């Protein structure tokens, strides 16, 4: 498909070039009747350049037509590295907006190559082609779900989505620490609100479902891979409005409006940029909140697949007692999963030596890796491996993803590394993760989960 498109592009370019050259030649001949038939030296150069260009196009088109789709796909992903320096020159939030817009318009490479079979796994009755996902915060308003899933992520999480639209905190609110591979943000749940997101997800849901049904039969194994609307799993991360006095009501409203499109739901109680939000991680507060949200989800009518799994996203800045309380609530209420973790308010080495570290907000990226992984391992032990955990925080390579899995993660998410590395990072990480599993003798992701805790 990609090679045909490339070939067509070359043919169209060639046709336009030949037509323009022919017209130019005709005009030159018509004027030659009244002037000396002397060809200017510059015109000769132009014709030579045109001829050389046409020759290169023909040769390039012929070569591309012989290249297999997998190789061409690899080229497209590698080519995105050329764009990264341009984004680095832009303001961080402007670059982020452009990246989301590009993915929404399909101006990003689409993965045509199958994932390594060793990366496939089943969680919550859903088949993931690979365990590497994009965390909430990148596509806050569900503008680019199709483009992001098409890049090869095993799952994409949109949000956080608040009931009522809100602008978030004043700008600037995103700060790069490029040398440390980190970002500090204090966005504050900037969101277009659940109505706008529901409308967008509804349209995308119908489109993806139609494309899936037309491209594969329901009985095929391919149809079983993915979520409600087709290949790729979609998570929806729910937040509360800054001015809301009833957090539970906000989350319940999100469930009622958006759960029909979600393959899993997330209660975000751990952003450091919404005042009072992290207090909901206390034992009593969390228990009351989860009960209300579970009841709201379960009272809705669901088909054979049942309601979407409900997860809670927690902070990395928790005490041992806090983690024990959360684990107890998760086990008692049979929570479907935990995401570990959100950004940190701490400034671990070497970030604290960077002047930008004085900015308030949550820190993400490489410096968060050890802290979040330690919390992940502790929670895996406290929950006795009974609850699927999503490892998030500081992942920038397949080796990092593998270490999260060994610490207890069934799935992993990234964001900051993707912001810096772009689409080319995704196939690279999947290949590295597959190599790590094979190197240590694991035949599947599930075999490696919690290996460091056993």
Residues belonging to the active site: 271
Distance CA 229, CA 107 (A): 22
Please count the CA atoms within 13 angstroms of the CA of 105 that sit on its side-chain side: 7
Distance CA 241, CA 127 (A): 33
Distance CA 362, CA 191 (A): 18
How far is residue 126 CA from its own chain's centroid? 18
What is residue 267's three-state secondary structure? strand
Query: What is each CA distance from 197 to 67, 160, 262, 273, 316, in whole angstroms?
Result: 40, 11, 12, 21, 28
The torsion angles phi and psi of 362, rounded to 5 degrees, stand at -90, 135
User: What is the distance between the terminal CA atoms of the chain, rounded to a whole angstrom?
Assistant: 47
Helix axes 283-298, 247-258, angle to 10 degrees: 30
Query: Any bridge partners for residue 311, and if so which?
Result: 266, 337
Determine contact, residues 61/15, Cβ cutoff 8 Å.
Answer: no
Distance CA 270, CA 249 (A): 17
Write out the two tokens for 427.
Answer: 């196939």
Edge-to-edge strand order for the sheet containing 362-365?
174-177, 182-185, 362-365
């Amino acid at each position: 498909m990609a090679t045909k498109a490339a070939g067509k592009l070359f043919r169209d370019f060639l046709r336009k070039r030949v037509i323009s050259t022919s017209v130019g030649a005709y005009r030159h001949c018509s004027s030659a009747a009244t002037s000396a038939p002397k060809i200017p030296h510059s015109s000769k150069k132009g014709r030579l350049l045109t001829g050389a260009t046409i020759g290169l196009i023909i040769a390039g088109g012929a070569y591309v037509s012989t290249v297999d789709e997998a190789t061409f796909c690899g080229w497209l992903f590698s080519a995105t590295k050329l764009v990264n320096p341009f984004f680095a020159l832009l303001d961080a939030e402007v670059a982020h907006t452009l990246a989301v817009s590009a993915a929404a318009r399909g101006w990003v490479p689409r993965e045509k190559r199958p994932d390594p079979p060793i990366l496939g796994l089943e969680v919550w009755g859903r088949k993931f082609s690979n365990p590497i996902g994009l965390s909430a915060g990148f596509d806050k308003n569900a503008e680019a779900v199709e483009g992001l899933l098409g890049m090869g992520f095993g799952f994409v999480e949109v949000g956080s989505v608040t009931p009522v639209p809100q602008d978030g905190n004043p700008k600037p609110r995103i700060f790069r620490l490029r040398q440390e591979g980190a970002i500090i943000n204090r966005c504050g749940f900037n969101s277009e609100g659940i109505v706008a997101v529901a409308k967008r997800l509804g349209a995308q849901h119908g489109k993806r479902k139609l494309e899936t049904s037309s491209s594969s039969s329901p009985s095929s194994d391919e149809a079983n891979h993915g979520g409600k609307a087709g290949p790729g799993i979609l998570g929806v991360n729910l937040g509360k409005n800054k001015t809301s006095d009833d957090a539970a009501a906000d989350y319940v409203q999100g469930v009622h409006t958006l759960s029909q499109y979600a393959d899993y739901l997330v209660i975000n109680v751990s952003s450091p940029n919404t005042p009072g939000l992290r207090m909901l991680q206390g034992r009593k507060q969390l228990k009351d909140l989860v009960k209300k949200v579970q009841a709201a989800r379960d009272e809705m009518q669901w088909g054979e697949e049942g309601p979407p799994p409900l997860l809670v996203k927690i902070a990395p800045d928790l005490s041992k007692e806090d983690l024990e309380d959360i684990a107890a609530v998760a086990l008692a209420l049979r929570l479907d999963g935990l995401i570990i973790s959100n950004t940190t308010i701490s400034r671990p080495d070497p970030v604290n030596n960077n002047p930008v570290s004085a900015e308030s907000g949550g820190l993400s990226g490489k410096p968060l890796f050890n802290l979040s992984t330690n919390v992940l391992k502790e929670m895996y032990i406290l929950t006795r491996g009974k609850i699927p955990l999503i490892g998030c925080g500081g992942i920038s390579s397949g080796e990092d993803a593998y270490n999260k899995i060994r610490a207890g993660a069934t799935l992993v998410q990234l964001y900051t590394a993707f912001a810096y590395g772009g689409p080319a990072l995704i196939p690279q990480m999947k290949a590295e993760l597959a190599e790590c599993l094979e190197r240590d003798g694991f035949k599947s992701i599930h075999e490696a989960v919690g290996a460091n805790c056993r």
